[in-house]
Chain A
Amino acid sequence: AQSVAQPEDQVNVAEGNPLTVKCTYSVSGNPYLFWYVQYPNRGLQFLLKYITGDNLVKGSYGFEAEFNKSQTSFHLKKPSALVSDSALYFCAVSLKVGAGYNFNKFYFGSGTKLNVKP
């Protein structure tokens, strides 16, 4: 079975400090990896993805994520947090191949609430 874990329900960080939101996964084969952000009463917004190549990927709003194959992790990072970064963050994976059409769907983590304090 495929699974995605976000071990922290909540992350608190002071504005201007670096932030990390953790994600680990357990899937069959090599996955594609994504980060989304959700603001209250709004849909999920795409931040970045890892497909192949350089393990460090850069995305929207200054966010980046590092893919670590040996640790099956894809942690989201930002060098300097803003109060406006406060939101709910979701890690998601899809499969490169699979039985039937199950490679198409996203498997999501349970989400991490990021609180950035002024």
Chain B
Amino acid sequence: GAGVSQSPRYKVAKRGQDVALRCDPISGHVSLFWYQQALGQGPEFLTYFQNEAQLDKSGLPSDRFFAERPEGSVSTLKIQRTQQEDSAVYLCASRRTSGVVDSYNEQFFGPGTRLTVL
């Protein structure tokens, strides 16, 4: 079956530009996560959705970062006025939900979007 897809795979932006990164989760997965992976580092949590509700945005590094999932499926991560320190791979993951608390279930990751800010 189809996995998590992300687009674009690569994005080059000039400093100060706005960018939008798209994530298509596995069909039926109600939990969706965004992570930021800097070069040579492990992924760092950005934000979490359950259906259309953004329940945790504690990892967003600044108010330039904004995420939405208006219909509970596709999600978009938007970065306004990009800075060089925003250069990273942005990973999206989805997870099957079997109950209120299902942190024991694995997350399924997309291939990521590599953002380079010049």
Contacts and interface: CB of A to CB of B under 8 A. Distances in A.
| Consensus secondary structure, chain A interface | loop
Nearest to B53: A101
A19 B55 CA distance: 39
Nearest to B58: A102
A14 interface: no
Contacts, number: 75
A90 B42 contact: yes
Contacts of B58: 100, 102
Interface in A31-75: 32, 34, 36, 41-46, 49, 51
B104 A94 contact: yes
A4 B45 CA distance: 13
A90 B93 CA distance: 15
Interface residues of A, number: 31
Given A102-B56, A106-B45, A111-B41, A44 B109 contact: yes
B106 A46 contact: yes
B104 to A, nearest CB: 5
Interface of A: 4, 6, 32, 34, 36, 41-46, 49, 51, 90, 92, 94-97, 100-111
25 contacts: A6-B42, A32-B104, A43-B91, A44-B43, A44-B109, A90-B42, A92-B42, A95-B103, A96-B101, A97-B101, A100-B58, A101-B55, A101-B56, A104-B33, A104-B48, A104-B56, A104-B103, A105-B33, A106-B33, A106-B35, A106-B43, A108-B35, A108-B42, A111-B40, A111-B41
Given A105-B33, A111-B42, 10 more contacts: A32-B103, A42-B111, A44-B43, A44-B109, A46-B106, A95-B103, A103-B103, A105-B45, A105-B56, A106-B35
